[in-house]
Amino acid sequence: MESRMYLLTIRLYGIGLDIWRQFVVPGDITLDRLHDVIQIVMGWQDYHLHTFTIGKKRYTENPESKEDGAREDRYRLVDLIKQKGRTFAYEYDFGDDWRHTITIEDSRYFNPGLQAPLACLDGAGACPPEDVGGGHGYLEFLKALNNPRHAEHENYKEWISGHPCYHGTYDSEHFDIDSVNDELLKYLRWSRYRNQFWHSGW
């Protein structure tokens, strides 16, 4: 039996900018793999720790105690949250404190044209650079980068030019959905060789 598909929307909140992605995953995806997919669709580089909060319970990669939450690789999305319209939280990088809200747009999504069990369908806004200093730091970064007269303009230009993801330039409105879907396909090919499969339908 094939897995039901989930249509999700993830939004980065707390910085006053519209940065979001709409994407599809199998309902029986484990939370550790959902984390991998979020990193790809958002554009993060998986440098830092993260946590999911669903209801009042937290799930993370390697909890050291019950207070830290449960191990995310032991739980599947469909077993934790099923209702259309429900939301849950994803936090990435506890220093920069990037907080995301994930909404289940459809918990029985059907699209006969879907070519793979992972796909990004839409989105807007570039992912902030890693280690930019959270929401406040990101806004200051954009302010300086877009103003040649800003005291930190050259410093930020030099910093971003050395970043391996941006090739010397950064556009806060850029979102390349084709590149995201290419990365999702690469991830699917890699994940075929892992011991744990989502289901036998793909």
Residue 121 lies in a domain: yes
**Is residue 157 pLDDT above 80, yes or no?**
yes
> What are 162-199's pLDDT values in tens digits?
776 776 688 999 999 999 999 999 999 887 655 555 44
Query: pLDDT band for position 11 (50/70/90)?
Result: very high
Q: If you average pLDDT over residues 135-161, what whole number do you get?
A: 92
In this predicted structure, the answer to whether residue 130 has a pLDDT above a threshold of 60 is yes
Residue with tokens 């990037």: 98
Pairing between β-strand 87-92 and β-strand 70-71 as defined by DSSP bridges = unpaired
How many angstroms separate the CA atoms of 74 and 48, rounded?
20
**Residues 63 and 161 placed together within one structural domain of the fold:** no
Token readout for 113 is: 């044209």
Q: Is the pLDDT of residue 117 over 80?
A: yes
On whether both 182 and 91 belong to a single domain, the answer is: yes
Same domain, 167 and 181: no
Q: CA-to-CA distance for 157 and 61, rounded, in angstroms?
A: 34
Query: Does one domain contain both 106 and 146?
Result: no
What confidence score (pLDDT) does residue 202 get? 41
Mean pLDDT of 111-129: 93
Say which amino acid occupies 103.
T
| Three-state SS at 70 | strand
Contact between 27 and 6 under an 8 Å Cβ cutoff? The reply is yes
Strand order across the 57-60 sheet: 70-71, 57-60, 50-54, 87-92, 98-109, 5-13, 19-26, 119-124
- The reported pLDDT for the residue numbered 42 is 98
CATH of the domain at 28: 3.10.290.30
Q: For 53-101, how does the pLDDT look when each residue is reduced to its tens digit (9 = 90+)?
A: 999 999 999 887 777 789 999 999 999 998 999 999 999 999 999 999 9
Q: Decide if pLDDT at 8 tops 80.
A: yes
Q: How confident is the model at residue 200 (pLDDT cuts 50, 70, 90)?
A: very low
The verdict on residue 116 lying in a domain is yes
Is residue 92 located within the same domain as residue 114?
yes
Q: How far apart are CA 83 and CA 87, in angstroms?
A: 9
Residue 196 domain-assigned (yes or no): no
CB atoms within 10 A of CB 109: 18
Kindly give, in sequence order, each residue whose CB lies less than 8 Å from that of residue 171, ignoring residues fewer than 6 positions away.
126
Give the chain's domain count: 2
d(CA 98, CA 142): 17
Q: Domain residues for 121?
A: 5-125+175-191
Least-confidence region, from 66-75, 127-136, 145-154, 155-164: 155-164
Residues 9 and 107 in one domain: yes
Judgement on whether residues 118 and 138 belong to the same structural domain of the protein: no
Both 161 and 184 in one domain: the answer is no
Percent of the chain with pLDDT over 70: 92
- What DSSP state is assigned to residue 198? S
Query: From its phi and psi, is residue 43 left (phi > 0), alpha (psi between -120 and 50) or beta?
Result: left
Give the CA radius of gyration of the chain. 18
Say if residue 13 is in the same domain as residue 82. yes
Q: Are residues 84 and 139 in the same domain?
A: no
Non-local CB neighbours of 106 within 8 Å, separated by 6+ positions: 6, 7, 84
17 domain-assigned: yes
